[in-house]
């Protein structure tokens, strides 16, 4: 078998053999830097993978891996370190019971559906969460009460979308909103539709899409995430057949759809589906390269700072949002380049990980403080939450800036 063919057929677990123990992953692991409790990516992933012959065991500190993927971004040998950790975590929970906390943190989508089914559900749910926090109900199950749970928007994106009047077009994209934009931050989705309309695209949605599965993977609900992957991949392939790309504004969702499905579950269809999925700014940058992006921007005032999410950097597509925003006349935005924010999806919501999460974010918070921007711009919803929590600065998605520049 040729080297190339083998590389294609290699599973994430197989990549452990490429490790030369150079330790770059440890040097760039934000969790290892924040706490001595974590044995570090090299040991937990590739090193232990050689030792499983000795006994059935699990790394005691596996729980500390936040799946931020900086190990994989850094690894000069192409080892799927974080993916191996998530596979181990999934394997662990095949034989161990999940906590109520993990169940709650992994299944935001289920909770969201419940909330939407009730009249004034969002209002009461938000109130309930405040009361719950105050009464220590979250800490009782192991969720930190030191930060707010994400509040539900009065109307979900999917509800809002029904009322958006679009100019029909032959050029179409399917929007994958993801749980956070749909339930908590629908403005981002609305801005996305506006931007695409300006560029002559009609935005479709697909009711059959389900949560990408990222919160499940990180809490060890691997089989459930696998089911979600099947559902979404089938839909993506269907859109692919029609020649309509699927676009996401959440970089963790897009990483999941584009790369993690295939890395975790290794099915050929997942790889094929991935070719039809784009991060929103990756898609827009593609348009720009073809000269098809509407570049008639109105100036946008203010001083902005940009945080690039780890899951965007893991996609290896550069920082397309920054490229495009820099085209806006007079727009001042600086790349914070301060590493991981520390929240990592639901990681920083866990009571026992809150301190680690805030410690990881320290560098970023400090950089924000130094730059003193009016607003922090970031493609990832959970990063935005962490930045708002750690710096008290207003935050937004870059698509919202672009929508503003088109007004």
Residues that bind other proteins (CB under 8 A): 1, 3, 6, 16-23, 39, 42-43, 46-55, 57-60, 76-77
Q: What are phi and psi of 279, to 5 degrees?
A: -70, 145
Cβ distance to other proteins smaller for residue 52 or 100: 52
Question: Measured on CA atoms in the order 189, 389, 282, 273, is the torsion positive or negative?
Answer: negative
Cβ distance to other proteins smaller for residue 53 or 95: 53
Name residue, tokens 């805030």: 358
Rounded to a whole number of angstroms, the minimum distance from the CB of residue 63 to other proteins is 12
DSSP letter at 98 equals P
Q: Give CA–CA dist 157/153, Å, rounded.
A: 9
Cβ-proximal residues to 392 (8 Å cutoff; 6+ apart), any chain: none
Cβ-proximal residues to 103 (8 Å cutoff; 6+ apart), any chain: none
Rounded to a whole number of angstroms, the minimum distance from the CB of residue 25 to other proteins is 12
DSSP-derived 3-state class of residue 54: coil
Rounded to a whole number of angstroms, the minimum distance from the CB of residue 74 to other proteins is 15
Rounded to a whole number of angstroms, the minimum distance from the CB of residue 31 to other proteins is 17
Q: Give CA–CA dist 63/220, Å, rounded.
A: 10
Rounded to a whole number of angstroms, the minimum distance from the CB of residue 239 to other proteins is 35
Exposure pattern of 15-53 as b/e (b: 16+ CB <10 Å)?
Answer: bbeebeeeebbbebbbbbbbeeebbbbbbbbbbbbeeee
Rounded to a whole number of angstroms, the minimum distance from the CB of residue 366 to other proteins is 30
Cβ distance to other proteins smaller for residue 80 or 250: 80
Nearest C-alpha neighbor of 157 from the set 181, 125, 193, 121: 181
Rounded to a whole number of angstroms, the minimum distance from the CB of residue 91 to other proteins is 13
Cβ distance to other proteins smaller for residue 91 or 301: 91
Cβ distance to other proteins smaller for residue 19 or 287: 19
Q: What's CA 193's distance to the chain center, in Å?
A: 20
Rounded to a whole number of angstroms, the minimum distance from the CB of residue 4 to other proteins is 10
Cβ distance to other proteins smaller for residue 92 or 331: 92
Q: How would you class 56 by CB atoms within 10 Å of its CB: exposed for 0-12, middle for 13-18, buried for 19 or more?
A: exposed
Cβ distance to other proteins smaller for residue 18 or 240: 18
Rounded to a whole number of angstroms, the minimum distance from the CB of residue 268 to other proteins is 18
Q: Give CA–CA dist 174/186, Å, rounded.
A: 16
DSSP-derived 3-state class of residue 378: strand
Cβ distance to other proteins smaller for residue 42 or 389: 42
Rounded to a whole number of angstroms, the minimum distance from the CB of residue 23 to other proteins is 7
Taking each helix axis from N to C end, the angle separating 398-405 and 186-198, rounded to the nearest 10 degrees, works out to: 40
Q: How would you class 163 by CB atoms within 10 Å of its CB: exposed for 0-12, middle for 13-18, buried for 19 or more?
A: exposed
Cβ distance to other proteins smaller for residue 35 or 139: 35
Q: Give CA–CA dist 152/185, Å, rounded.
A: 8
Cβ distance to other proteins smaller for residue 58 or 317: 58
Q: Give CA–CA dist 176/241, Å, rounded.
A: 17
């Amino acid at each position: 078998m040729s080297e190339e063919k083998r590389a294609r057929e290699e599973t994430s677990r197989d990549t452990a053999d490429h490790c030369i123990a150079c330790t770059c992953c440890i040097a760039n692991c934000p969790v290892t830097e924040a706490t001595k409790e974590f044995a570090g990516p090299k040991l937990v992933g590739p090193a232990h993978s050689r030792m499983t012959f000795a006994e059935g065991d699990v790394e005691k500190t596996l729980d500390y891996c936040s799946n931020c993927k900086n190990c994989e971004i850094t690894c000069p040998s192409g080892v799927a370190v974080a993916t191996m950790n998530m596979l181990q975590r999934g394997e662990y929970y095949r034989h161990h019971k999940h906590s109520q906390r993990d169940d709650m943190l992994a299944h935001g989508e289920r909770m969201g559906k419940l909330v939407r089914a009730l009249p004034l559900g969002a209002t009461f749910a938000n109130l309930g969460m405040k009361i719950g926090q105050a009464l220590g109900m979250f800490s009782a199950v192991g969720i930190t009460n030191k930060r707010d749970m994400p509040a539900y928007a009065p109307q979900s994106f999917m509800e809002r979308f029904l009322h958006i009047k679009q100019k029909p077009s032959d050029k179409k994209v399917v929007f994958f909103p993801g749980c956070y934009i749909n339930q908590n931050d629908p403005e981002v989705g609305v801005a996305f539709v506006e931007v695409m309309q300006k560029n002559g695209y009609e935005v479709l949605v697909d009711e059959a899409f389900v949560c990408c599965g990222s919160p499940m993977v990180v809490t060890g609900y691997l089989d459930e995430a696998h089911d979600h992957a099947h559902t979404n991949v089938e839909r993506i392939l269907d859109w692919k057949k029609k020649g309509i790309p699927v676009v996401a504004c959440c970089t963790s969702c897009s990483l999941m759809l584009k790369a993690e499905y295939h890395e975790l579950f290794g099915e050929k269809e997942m790889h094929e589906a991935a070719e039809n999925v784009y991060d929103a700014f990756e898609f827009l940058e593609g348009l720009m390269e073809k000269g098809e992006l509407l570049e008639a921007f109105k100036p946008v005032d203010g001083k902005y700072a940009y945080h690039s999410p780890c899951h965007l950097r893991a996609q290896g597509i550069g920082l397309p949002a920054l490229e495009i925003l820099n085209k806006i006349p007079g727009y001042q935005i600086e790349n914070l380049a301060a590493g991981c924010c520390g929240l990592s999806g639901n990681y920083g919501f866990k009571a026992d990980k809150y301190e680690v999460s805030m410690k990881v974010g320290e560098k970023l918070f400090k950089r924000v403080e130094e730059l003193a921007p009016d607003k922090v711009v970031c493609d990832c919803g959970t990063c935005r939450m962490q930045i708002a929590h750690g710096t008290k600065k207003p935050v937004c998605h870059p698509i919202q800036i672009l929508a503003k520049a088109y007004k």
